[in-house]
Structure 1
Amino acid sequence: MDHETSTGHVTRKTVLRAALAAGMAAPAVLMGVPALARTLTGGEEAPELTPTCDDGDDPTPAQMEGPYFKPNSPRRSSLLEGNTPGVRLTVSGYVFGLACRPISGVLLDFWQADTNGAYDNTGFRFRGHQFTGADGSFKLTTIVPGLYPGRTRHIHVKAQAPGRPVLTTQLYFPGEPRNNTDSLFDPRLLMTVRDAGGAREAAFDFVLNVPQNPGPTPTPTQTTQPPGGSWAVGTAYRAGDAVTYGGAAYVCLQAHTAQPGWQPPNVPSLWRAA
């Protein structure tokens, strides 16, 4: 989990994710923590978190494809068909490169078992692919997969950035008893999960082995102001600070250092109109 630095500013990934997730509830943004928390059973140790995407970090771990992958899945973000039995599940998140910058156009191909633990090997039920948006985001609507002998609960995925190799891996659910007996289980691939009125919501951010430039580094002494406003790149803002930009007034919601592209109208998770 990301924490604040000694200067009181949240870490780079927290601010970037907050900026991307403009629809995130304000309280979660203000706390500077992910909106979803891992659920642990009594006595279960907190797992190692999914790798955060800072310069030089390792990418999301790969795992075996398994025997049930099928190519040419339909392009769709919902795997539900009619009155599909099972507990509804939404999985959302972002795909980042090694410098913590989002990657658009990433192919994500998902496949999983149905609520009874069976794979459809003749058709394409619970199989589908999609592409990340301009902000690197994705969202999958499906059900909680069932269990079958020898495995814990999981979802398969292949992720491929444009022109890059394919990452094949699996996503896991926290608090599952079989996590302790499944030899393939990797705690770094745990999703964050919460209950949502009879359904479940999960989140996972992929970090692909895609080299990236880290982007412009803010300079604290920079004071360039946009026309008609006091907001300035490189300024370290605190929650509650007030600025103007483009003739409108804004109040800071979360401590951060201003960067190009993070002008108040562009990042509702960091600024609200006064």
Structure 2
Amino acid sequence: MMTSRRALLSGFLATPLVPLTSVLARGQQAPLLPLTRACEDGDEPTLSREAGPFFKPNAPLKQDLFLDAPRGEPFTIAGYVVDDRCSPAPRSLIEIWHADENGDYDRQGFRLRGHQFADEQGRWWFNTVMPAPYPGRTRHFHFRIQRPGGVVLTTQLFFPGEPGNARDWLFDETLLITMTDAGDGRFGRFDFVV
């Protein structure tokens, strides 16, 4: 029996992020954290990408986007917002928007659009659906992230194994979501370094 997205999310939320700087300062071995390549390097922020033509400001405070497209394949995406020293960036703003299961964006309202604030450990998550590719683009999510008082990072996240990745001029392998199949959809993980 496969684990559910809810169980995977619960496990993620139950595991605290241990800042590498405090561990190293005490002379301990650094823990093996499944962080993005940039955070492992310790100095490179997440790559920026254009917002695209479908960004709309003032998306609602909302983590559960699945009800906007109930016929889509369920997908939960979660991660941390950290600084270049892998320390959590609490209360960071995270915005998401993406195409639906048919490759269409809502241009009138706020379907499959939302925002939230990272918790005190820098954690964030959204329940949504797998976006479909559309002509000229591979499957992707759009994100905007901003630490309190920081600059806005606008980027796009991509899905591993997509045939369109190689043809998409915005694709970069450092922006791949780490994915797990669940019994009720898929679970993805990505940590933003801002």
Q: What TM-score does the superposition give when structure 2 sets the normalisation length?
A: 0.81
| Cα deviation 1:40-60 (Å, max 9, x = unaligned) | xxxxxxxxx6312554x1100
Please say which structure displays the higher CA radius of gyration.
1
- Structure 1 Cα separation of the partners of residues 86 and 39 of structure 2: 8
1:59-102 deviations in whole A, cap 9, x for unaligned?
00000110000001000111122771111000011010011100
Distance 1:101 1:82, change over 3 A: closer
CA contact (8 A) 1:79 1:125 kept: yes
| 1:102–1:135 CA contact under 8 A, matched in 2 | yes
**CA separation in 2, counterparts of 1:190 and 1:115?**
19
- Rounded to whole Å, the distance in 2 between the matches of 1:33 and 1:167 is 23
**From 180, 183, 191, the counterpart of 1:197:** 183
Is contact 2:69-2:129 (8 Å) kept? no
Which stretch shows the higher mean deviation, 82-91 or 171-180? 82-91
The answer to whether the 8 A contact 1:95-1:136 is kept is yes
Q: How many residues align?
A: 169
Instruction: Give the match for residue 52 of structure 1.
Output: 39
CA distance in 2, matches of 1:83, 1:206: 26
* C-alpha spacing 1:168/1:33, structure 2 compared with 1 (3 Å): closer
- Aligned with residue 20 of structure 1, among 6, 17, 22: 17
**Aligned residue runs from structure 1 range 188-227, under 5 A:** 188-208=174-194
Give the superposition deviation at 1:198: 3.9
Out of 143, 166, 178, the residue aligned to residue 164 of structure 2 is: 178
Q: Counterpart of 2:115?
A: 129
Q: Which 5+ residue runs of structure 1 have no aligned equivalent?
A: 1-16, 22-30, 36-48, 209-274
1:34 is matched by which residue type in structure 2? P
Structure with a larger share of its residues in helix: 2
Root-mean-square deviation (Å): 2.1
Q: What SS class does the counterpart of residue 153 from structure 2 fall into?
A: strand
| Letter in structure 2 aligned against 1:163 | G
Distance in 1 (alpha carbons) for counterparts of 2:68 and 2:59: 18
**Hey, what's the Cα distance between the residues in 2 that align with 1:118 and 1:50?**
31
- Structure 1 residues 54 and 100: alpha-carbon distance in aligned structure 2, compared to 1, 3 A threshold: farther
Deviation at 1:34, TM superposition (A): 3.4
1:46-125 matches, within 5 Å, as 50-53=37-40, 55=42, 57-81=43-67, 84-125=70-111
Tell me the amino acid that sits aligned with residue 153 of structure 2.
L
Consecutive aligned runs of 4 or more in structure 1 exceeding 4 Å deviation? none
Looking at both structures, which has the greater relative contact order when contacts are Cα pairs under 8 Å and sequence separation is at least 6?
2
Contact 2:63 2:115 (C-alpha < 8 Å) held by counterparts? yes
Secondary structure at 1:188 match in 2 = helix
